[in-house]
Structure 1
């Protein structure tokens, strides 16, 4: 039968069967080989996105590139971070500093953002005391998402202040951007803020001696000098005030809260149509024209200096009319040669007349209505630390009398946004 010819090319039947069997055998071998090759490959581990940014990243589709363009700077940085993820979320960001915290970590650290852990509250966020996994005490600032200010404050602090290291600047340890949450994690400073010690209930005698007050003032000036002269671009804080000066147990000051800060190039100013800051601390030219530069910080520093000397608020409507504005009142006391009256009555040990005159001379130069006449903050340190005698002479007093009353500058505040 095998010798019979078939209709397939006139071949014998046994030849056709052999070719068919061989083809089937080869096909089976190919399928087995393909199966074994697939089995031998290790499964590719799906790359995961860090927990703190999973809800912020866009889904991949035809419009992905456009979605990425609309992301904030921080979210773009988070997207880049995916390429170096180790599968469980990176501990250190690709920026070279800081810890990426998940929302869950910070909830655990603060007992679910419990009310009893609140240590501060402002217009843009609530600050909680917390303890992270390694036992470190931290201050956790949960930014309130009001009109996008939370995102702005978050970006300014992370991008501008994250790398900054100075003993008189509050250190930013890390951050979390998960969904709509924007949270900043700082070092914990354990002695409250300057406002609490100057205006709080500390009893009849303040623990803030003259020496401690000068230590706080000089430390604050050194922090501002670093921001203004030690960085490029320079950083203008825009919200220097007693509540933003934290203190440790040795009374070392740490400037905090950079949510309103501006980064400026050398010899540059910034003009805004929306004045931000705190009533009483805002420089007159900033309130009236919206122009801000480092001299704006010098003015706020001068107000803080006078506040620390006197123990009075910059603006206090509970006082008699002639004492409402601190600068006006102190100038009046200088004109009348009643310098001892400007000192905080809770300060037991008074400085000498010469030392007080020098301090007042420096502070009043900082709050000069003409921003060009204000000293640079680095020069302020030199004046305070040098042994030269800076006194308020007759020429200074005459100049004070001729100056426009500073209360006129505050007329601009009624229309300003804070």
Structure 2
């Protein structure tokens, strides 16, 4: 009997110690999270969360919130199916891009949640940095670092009269930077991140014209032991891998295909949805493949690159693009392999 009481006492003590340890760990984890975030409850019923960083250390969260609530049409720098993007200037040295996503439908709310989930802990020089977010009854805000040179799409296809022409070295650097960013999402993030909407308008350019992958509204998380995630087909026409339409399975090789289309944009200066392709009943990928097979890449190369473009490097990048665009996803390289191939092209080897 006494032995039974001792055992019962011992079990009780162990249980209490276990519970206390769990409570202590939870408190420590919460304090650690709180040190990294500043939360401000706004008077409009919303909540703002700012991730602590050197850029924002001198600014109060209340100041950021008040500034965001004064944004208007004059501050708009972009828009799309996701919502509107504003430029937010806090002072002479701090400026951000604020993406406003209106609430009201389950898909809009899911888009915000997907982007927030994907971006929460990402820190990479070729992926845009999320500095905070704001949730309110009628809309959500995502606060990103501002990319002063806009998107790759605007540089390649913008209709501005004073549009800056991208030389070959800059284009190659953009391709390599974007590849490194996507490779980080595929291989280094746990769970892995499938972007699902790789395109030139989602590749932003910083003050040094270095590429940053952006817009994670369609991003899907995938555990390392999985090969795909079943989803509703979504993305941008002209960039989507053909097998995605048939299976509804999002894979990292789908992102590889989309990146191959971006490489063709950099090489040809043409949009996947160019009117000329629509009139001829073809598309950018089919058009370029036919020319590459005949080894006449110079016929489709962007004329703005000029005659001094190093064709041996250009041809190598055309070949990398063709590898990305293989019909069978198993034949496509991984993004890590693409980074390696582009790096070798950069050195002229």
Q: TM-score range by the shorter chain?
A: 0.7 to 0.9
**Cα distance change on mapping 1:268 and 1:105 into 2, 3 Å:** same
**Cα distance change on mapping 1:327 and 1:294 into 2, 3 Å:** same
TM-score by length of 2: 0.79
Instruction: Specify every segment of 5 or more residues in structure 2 that has no aligned partner in the other structure, as ranges.
Output: 1-38
**Is the CA contact 1:52–1:177 (under 8 Å) kept in the aligned structure 2?**
no
CA distance in 2, matches of 1:276, 1:254: 22
Q: Partner of 1:161 in structure 2? A: 119
What is the Cα deviation at residue 324 of structure 1?
A: 3.6
**Cα distance change on mapping 1:369 and 1:145 into 2, 3 Å:** same
Q: Partner of 2:191 in structure 1? A: 233
Q: Partner of 1:247 in structure 2? A: 205
**Cα distance change on mapping 1:146 and 1:356 into 2, 3 Å:** farther
RMSD: 3.1
**Is the CA contact 1:101–1:175 (under 8 Å) kept in the aligned structure 2?**
no
**Cα distance change on mapping 1:197 and 1:387 into 2, 3 Å:** closer
Largest Rg, 1 or 2: 1
Q: Partner of 1:382 in structure 2? A: 340
Structure 1 window deviating more from structure 2 (251-260 vs 270-279): it is: 270-279
Secondary structure of the residue aligned to 1:346 is: helix
Which string of whole-angstrom CA distances, capped at 9 and with x for unpartnered residues, describes residues 262-307 of structure 1? Answer: 0001142444452110000011111221011111110000000011
Which structure's residues are more often strand, by fraction? 2
Instruction: Specify every segment of 5 or more residues in structure 1 that has no aligned partner in the other structure, as ranges.
Output: 1-48, 57-77, 79-88, 392-418
Runs of 4+ in 1 over 6 A off after TM superposition: 97-100, 388-391
Q: Partner of 1:331 in structure 2? A: 289
What is the Cα deviation at residue 202 of structure 1?
A: 5.2
Q: Partner of 2:132 in structure 1? A: 174
Q: Partner of 1:306 in structure 2? A: 264
**Is the CA contact 2:50–2:131 (under 8 Å) kept in the aligned structure 1?**
no
Kindly indicate whether residue 187 of structure 2 is the aligned counterpart of residue 197 of structure 1. Answer: no
TM-score by length of 1: 0.67
CA distance in 1, matches of 2:153, 2:104: 25
**Is the CA contact 1:110–1:131 (under 8 Å) kept in the aligned structure 2?**
no
Higher relative contact order (CA 8 A, sep 6+): 2
**Is the CA contact 1:205–1:347 (under 8 Å) kept in the aligned structure 2?**
no
Kindly indicate whether residue 103 of structure 2 is the aligned counterpart of residue 113 of structure 1. Answer: no
**Cα distance change on mapping 1:349 and 1:164 into 2, 3 Å:** farther
